[in-house]
Chain A
Amino acid sequence: MDALIYTVMSGAERIQRAQAVHANNLANMETAGFRANLEQAGAAQVKGYGYDARHLAKARSDVVSARAGSQRDTGRDLDLAVEGEGLFAVTQDGPSGREAYTRSGNFTVDADGTLRLGRHAVLGEGGPIVLPPHDKLEVQADGTISVLSNGQPELQTVDRLKLVKPPFSQLTKNEAGLLVTRDGSTPAADPAVQVAKGKLESSNVSAVEEMVATMNLARDFELQMRLYKAADGMADTGNRLVRE
């Protein structure tokens, strides 16, 4: 059988996967702190008999866009946004105890006072941050959290958010959509990272880019289907040649 049809198949498969990546980015356009997944096409050479021209297309997507999203004012005390580069550190699911990183700063306090991002505990300098009962909460630009507790005249420092700044090229997403380092290392806290209180960073998905990519992929897919037909036509012609 002609190899063309398999090459076409790999192209069409690649496009479907790429389309899924863009669909996911667009679906998360309103997810606070979301980082867009970048999608790339790669070639995988098929070794063995035949010409050296057979390269199948493969979708790759394990790189995350580092672009900053726009910040929105929310006025809520526990909405934090990282200014410039940097990430919040949270715990991962499961017993591994490894850290994961995120730009999403929509924190809540659970019944025990533990600061959480969804179900993940937010990490400070010495593990998860636990807030005492308080009336007022302040977060300084360097991530220091202080509270005004019952009856106290002055703010008391509770902990400082662990803020890290690993290069984005070292980061990849885990199954939960949090960022983790590729080699499993734990970056140290970076004192230069700044946060802003009462703000949330929106998703960094660019609607234009995603829509253009989607259109492009849909047309690419049509092209692959043309080639598929051409391969079919060639095989058909071959068959007729034998018959006649």
Chain B
Amino acid sequence: MNPAMWISKTGVQAQDAKLQAIANNLANVNTVGFKRDRVMFEDLFYQVERQPGAQAEDGTAAPTGVQLGNGTRMVGTQKVFTNGSLQTTGQSMDVAIVGNGFLQVEGPNGRPAYTRAGQLNLSPEGRLTTALGQRLQPEITVPVNAKSLTIGENGVVSITVADNAAPQEIGQLRLTQFVNPAGLLALGDNLYQETGASGAPTEGVPGENGLGKLKQGALEGSNVQVVEEMVDMIAAQRTYEMNTKVLSAADNMLQVLAQAAR
């Protein structure tokens, strides 16, 4: 059968996967702390054929051969950890990480998970949690009589109570960073988990050792750029189309062949 058909098939499949990633990126344009996915492709292995019989005019063996590629394949998706734009919200429970680092939370399977979405909330017991209720690590409990809450650039959380003018320190938020954040496993819900590829987590105080500072009253927006995604989408769609054209050309060739050999 015509190998061009299977090769084109890999191209069509790859573009299909790319469209899926683009759709997901666009859907998350307004997700706080979202990092866009980028689909990476690689050419499949080549059949390198040497034709030992092929001799050049002057009798020397020419180094001619055929390298038939087998198409393309998706190597994987890569989270692009560029910073999203900061949105000022004015809410005292919102923190944005300006720079590298993740907040550590208690993950869904008991293992630590990491997030950059800083919409903090209070659990019924007064503990700081993410918007979805995962507890921040180390745990910080806000007393019931707290009047206002301040989070410093270095993560120190302090409160004031009604009958005391002096602020009272109740804990410190810490940040975690990885050698290769792109290797983190995206769990959904804005959470990431450590993998063999990401390297071990290193924890530290915000603003030190290359960790980002915390900014109270702001949130980090999604780093998806709509125009870029739209252009990518057009390119993917047209590439899809052209690959299907080759597919039908290959099909036509087979049809002509079948008609010729009655």
A residues neighboring B (CB under 8 Å):
12, 15-17, 19-32, 34, 37, 42, 44, 58-62, 74-76, 106, 108-113, 118, 133-136, 148-151, 172-177, 182, 207, 210-211, 214-215, 217-218, 221-222, 225-226, 228-229
Q: Which residue of chain A has its CB nearest to the CB of B101?
A: A135
Once bound together, how far apart are the Cα atoms of A211 and B41, in whole Å?
Answer: 21
Are B183 and A108 closer than 8 Å at their CB atoms? yes
Q: Given A108-B78, A110-B197, A136-B210, A16 and B69 touching (CB < 8 A)?
A: no
Determine if B7 is an interface residue (Cβ-Cβ < 8 Å).
yes
8 A Cβ contacts from B189-243 to A: 196-200, 202, 208-211, 235-236, 238-239, 242-243
Further 17 A-B residue pairs, CB within 8 A, beyond A19-B249, A62-B67 = A15-B253, A17-B68, A19-B246, A20-B68, A21-B69, A23-B243, A27-B243, A30-B72, A106-B78, A108-B182, A111-B179, A111-B197, A112-B199, A149-B210, A173-B48, A177-B42, A177-B45
Whether a CB of chain A sits under 8 angstroms from the CB of B252 is yes
C-alpha gap A216/B145 in the complex (Å): 80
Question: Known interface pairs A31-B43, A214-B249. Does A61 touch B256 (Cβ–Cβ under 8 Å)?
Answer: no
Min C-beta distance of A98 to chain B, whole Å: 15
- Structural contact, A27 and B100, CB atoms closer than 8 A: no
Instruction: Tell which of B8, B69, B256 touches A225, judged by Cβ atoms closer than 8 Å.
Output: B256
Q: Is the CB of B14 within 8 A of A27?
A: yes
Instruction: Select one of A59, A110, A173 contacting B180, CB under 8 A.
Output: A110
Query: Do B67 and A133 touch (CB < 8 A)?
Result: no
Contact residue among B2, B51, B182 (Cβ-Cβ distance under 8 Å from A19): B2
Q: Is the CB of B54 within 8 A of A19?
A: no
A-B residue pairs, 3 tightest by C-beta: A135-B210, A27-B11, A24-B69
